Structure 1
């Protein structure tokens, strides 16, 4: 570090550290002021430029980020940190190939630098290149066996490939380094089809009695204890553990159900009258799978991805990113600018989405985008990607809602931290999708999870027909499809269909707040 800040005074170094903390915390304006102050007295300093590049990336000013990071690399051409940050900027801008080239360059320049391999593996995993991600993360672990995050990410990648025994060993290697590691416990708990041993449950109970736990670790272990307790039939204990973990999660960033309802109403109002599309077939490559998390969306993606014409891309951020780019360009948040967008604007945004997702059509002509909350954009997709098909997966709301309560979500605030918020979210989601589906049944299909259990072949044939795909028997044997699955359902969808998936009834009156919010009879 001393070498990186050489030439800066003690005061300037202090400002640089303050700027780094501000960027980390999302306080971009104060960070900009501090960096500008340092650059005024030390113009062109590469470490200051590197931090400024990170700031521009966070602010979505990608051209500016690439420019200043390029200036830094002009002085430090082989600097692994600046190269990594430039890769991050290029990825955020949608230039995935350039980003991968940067990260690989870091590993070639510094093959004994474990963080280079870790960053390469982490980003390959984010991009869905899970096999190469495993190789990179294994290299990082071999170079630095005490690198805790590498063990955890390697465990996650192995889960996504269906290599569950190896994943278990990696998570437990992380626990050997840090027994109270919430992320490692989360990984073990997310292998849904593998019960946690009773000794894990006992260890979690003991660990949670400690007073020196970091709050994220306590939350992760609370969710794991909930699963372990349910696995062994201790339902009151499971509910108590999950309630405590969710309460702690919610305190970090409370969900505002009333504000979300107002937002959904504004989305519905803004999209009530959209221009006729310039290219009615634009987006016919894409199949969006939306709905409530834990509703079976990963299962239906697995069915579609078993088809030889379809690539399963999992949960892609690109649709939301394109709309954020448009909001930044217009200086207005979505959906305020929607009524003023022309048919040509929507066409441009649709093409931008297809450009960002082109890598998922290298092997197959069609691809799935399975980000559940994309239901919010189902209306405007009629103007942006009118040729796309949208599959709205519905599972019994009580079962899906309870499954959400049991799942630790990392994007905060999240609606799943209280049973009443879950019910409010379900009401908003179902009302919006019902309206959009009734207006556009040719491009939006309501797909019932329970209907699949009752008549798998009939539902799969109907789903394929809706998507414009010929029937293929491989879709009936979806659990045998070899692909990376980057969701908490990775273990479940590698098994044949099971009709024994209901769990809410075991909790009786404890779930009455959810039943009440959904308008169901109380237990």
Structure 2
């Protein structure tokens, strides 16, 4: 990090940054700020135009104009306005921080981090630049650097909950569970109904929550006026603590209530999803032969149902000296989303029209965006479970890539999904019947792809790994064209950031007693029925 630089007065507070603005211009600026907050873009632009007419090129007005453009997704215009602001006041920390946000949205990642680091250097005693830097380092997967920045933000603003929660999350990802637990507890001391803190504690899955937590959660959930997101997160945490204590009916009741509230906020449409999945599969059935069959051989995709062992399989592969574990990457969706925007058509409508050259261009774009994961090792994993939807597309876009389909007993996996709070919403896991429908769709489509393309898609079964770890690990490595390495047998010793809900579980040896569904008896009959399994009740 650069050494601190003397601050411009504008970086220290609300008043100095308004220097040089006449009262009329300040009134327009305040009106613009309120309009941006309320989402009234036209009103905000009129107010800013009026202010700029009175004070052309004033940095604070340009900063606000950049924020307005950013809110409207006009990223290039946002960057231009904010660059003008920092050109006027080169040591305006707040403008550098906002410029970093705009640059990241415009795809200028390196420039964005340079701007955030500049903001931290200009205002080293201000918590927000450190928080902004740490949050984005964490999103980029640089957990160690994120922890350093977030520790700075927390030290400067001990009562700022977002920094404390993100710091706790980053510590979990780094495997520092005792420290993370302490930080989550500190957040609860500030705000006993902090859903994110309860969510974090519940996600350290190898550590049972004590009975005192069950009582605290039950008491907190009875309080009126709770924010829905806090109440939902606490409901999932209550489900975990009840299961930890063998209170299975209470656990099921708490999880059912939390899932019902989550589904009410973001309803899932199983029929619409099935139609979407089948449209993608049908459009992907007859794609042109790839121009370069080896394109993408650097990548190992791990797909499947969440909570089916995908993080475990990634941890095994990441223990290999040739593989970097990159976790759940957004770049594949980003590249296809960019192409959909360019064509002005949703993905299923343009898949069949894309040429071999189009797919090669998109594959190279993905490889360019993910190049940072191959700086130290030649290959990387991409473990976003929902990428199973794109198994056919990947055959044309990255034909050299390998796809590992993580499979676990459907009843156990489905129940595990029901217990987990997901943040990509709407989500299929809020009802047992929707879970069953999703599993049927996923297995039907992936079974067809695997039968058609066994050389690039492997069905890797969790239970088979438990039964004979060395045999399965050798077969997995061979499928990925990797030489056997004994480090993969001791995967739990691998030093890496694990940014999923399984962060604690994959840092211990294989556990053979992970089945839980049988303890809930007939309560899971809707899931059994949907999966075509015998019911109990």
TM range (shorter): over 0.9
Q: Does 1:208 align with 2:221?
A: yes
Partner residue, 1:246: 259
Q: Contact 1:171/1:187 (CA < 8 Å) preserved in 2? A: yes
Aligned to 2:147: 134
Deviation per residue, 1:10-66 (Å, 9 max, x gap): 4663343232332xxxxxxx53x3343234323456555445544655665543332
For residue 354 of structure 1, the aligned residue among 367, 371, 382 is 367
Matched with 2:51 is: 42
Q: 1:415 aligns with which of 428, 438, 443?
A: 428
Conserved? CA contact 1:16–1:34, under 8 Å: no
**Residue 518 (structure 2) pairs with residue 501 (structure 1):** no
Which string of whole-angstrom CA distances, capped at 9 and with x for unpartnered residues, describes residues 160-203 of structure 1? 11111100100001001001100000000000000000001111
Q: Residue 437 of structure 1 contacts residue 445 of structure 1 at CA under 8 Å; is this kept in 2? A: yes
Q: Does 1:343 align with 2:352?
A: no
How many angstroms apart in 2 are the aligned matches of 1:91 and 1:389?
30
Deviation at residue 368 of structure 1 after TM alignment: 0.4
- Corresponding residue for 2:291? 278
Tell me the secondary structure at the aligned position of residue 14 of structure 1: helix
| 2:133 paired with 1:120 | yes
Q: Structure 1 pair 53/287, CA: closer, same or farther in 2 (3 Å)?
A: farther
**How much has 1:4 moved relative to structure 2?**
5.5
Alignment of 1:83-102 (within 5 A): 83-102=96-115
Match of 1:383 in 2: 396
Q: What are the within-5 Å matches in structure 2 for residues 3-82 of structure 1?
A: 6=21, 8=25, 10=27, 13-22=30-39, 31=41, 33-43=42-52, 46-47=59-60, 49-54=62-67, 56-57=69-70, 61-82=74-95
Q: Secondary structure at the match of 1:447?
A: strand
* In 1, Cα distance between equivalents of 2:169 and 2:510: 23
Cα distance in 1 for partners of 2:280, 2:65 equals: 35
TM-score, normalised via structure 2 length: 0.92
- After superposition, give the CA deviation of every residue in 1:449-500 in whole Å (9 maximum; x if it has no partner): 1110111001100100111100000000001111110011000000100110
Secondary structure in 1 matching 2:251: helix
- TM-score scaled by length of structure 1: 0.95
Describe the superposition over 1:86-140 as per-residue Cα deviations: whole angstroms up to 9, x where unpaired. 2223333443322221111111111001111111111111111111111111111
**What is the DSSP-based 3-state SS (H/G/I as helix, E as strand, rest coil) of the residue aligned with 1:42?**
helix
Partner residue, 1:309: 322
Q: How many residues align?
A: 515
The 1:140–1:477 alpha-carbon spacing in structure 2 relative to 1, beyond 3 Å, is: same
Contact 1:16 1:48 in 2 (8 A): no
Match of 2:413 among 400, 404, 413: 400
User: Structure 1 residues 237, 468: CA separation in 2 closer, same or farther (over 3 Å shift)?
Assistant: same
> Match of 1:380, SS?
helix
Structure 1's unaligned 5+ residue stretches are: 23-29
User: Is contact 2:35-2:44 (8 Å) kept?
Assistant: no
Question: How far apart are the structure 2 equivalents of 1:86 and 1:127?
Answer: 18
- Rounded to whole Å, the distance in 1 between the matches of 2:71 and 2:392 is 29
Structure 1: distance between partners of 2:370 and 2:69? 23
Measure the CA separation in 2 of the matches of 1:254 and 1:167. 32
Residues 180-219 of structure 1: pairs in structure 2 closer than 5 A:
180-219=193-232
1:454 alignment partner in structure 2: 467
CA shift for structure 1 position 433: 1.1
**What residue number does 1:369 align with?**
382
- Give the deviation of 1:268 after TM superposition: 1.2
